[in-house]
Structure 1
């Protein structure tokens, strides 16, 4: 038997030395995963069986090598839901919960003003986490999602099964011709990292997230431009779009929309750390 607190302390020290951003949190999550419990329950634990110590050590070694925590536990929590994740799909980030919350609010507002089920489209759905959150929190919504990467699409299929979300495999720039002019809320967390910013990307993302979900041209705005063009086709009059972007794109990403002259109410929004995080815009009524 090993002392739980000593085990956690040693693991956190190893993760900190390896450059992991949240060593105590990750050490606790990994031990809770091995023991089949929640991190909050570890406070009640005195000792850990030797059989579990070995499995825990293996996971700590992998996390110290900067393998994503979510890959090691096989799941990512997001708002009120969780999704399965692993190699081949972008790991959802906590910052994106703000964009998803905005989409939920807009879907509810569309339903209240029109008296009908709102139509929502999620471009570059990845794991499907935004679409799943909207379906969970606005159950009357007709939610559609599209993903280009077959590997990520397979994860989305798993995560959206039984939710009522209509998932497609395809390119955001040509998706949903059948929904043209009917969408109330368009939402996307697209790739937005400039190719030149390779070295600045966190090791976990750079080495484990699919590059198709990260990089988007020399300035990182190729996907944003495609979403702007597609939004003009898909959204009904008065419909809204929300797009996540890098914190250095707080001016350049909204400018894609304001510069086209096809949108109104173009605004940028900050995350909880005060960094530019996502833009929103409305099609003229």
Structure 2
């Protein structure tokens, strides 16, 4: 982030920054259970209704965190442009903030890309060997399948959660708000990069109760699954925090987050036996 945007550290103490980050992390998770435990609303009638309710809760949490962070940061209240810049809402160098992080993130999936290319090459070779050709109808069929896939994802509420709501709200709270507070609290850049993902990971501890109580998993299995989740969320959090601090753009960790959610964990072992 540019120096003029992080030189506002004089008005926030380290303790205030840590308490605020902890509160935002707890609130991000707690509000998900607010409709059932506090408002006593009936259980959602469908999985779609359940996710929409959580979308609303996550949006409220993000807005509250942004407002609270704006009040804590020692920035003039009417200096909206500077405040947006601190949160990573910027237009300067936007293409670099999009292309470079996405290219860097895709390197983790080189093995997956190569495996898919080999599979596509094998399928095409088999098609040609069987006397097939690349006709117009074949190309139309491929395009139609691609369009159907996009439309199916657009109408799938789980895709909206994985590729839009969750990445956007998490990056707003755990990157835009928390990193700004920690930097203004006087923490060094490297400390912020390694500290901020701790709050991000702690926000996933509620999954332990969900696995143990709702899915009837053994406590050991629940701890193993959640421990693995905490591990890769910490690693991704370090990377996302680095992207935000390095570029000053919220869109940088956001596109990396969406891309990783779409691709899943990188393939370590190929199931192909050979060429």
TM tier, smaller: under 0.3
- In proportion to residue count, which structure has more strand? 1
TM-score by length of 2: 0.25
TM-score by length of 1: 0.24
- In proportion to residue count, which structure has more helix? 2
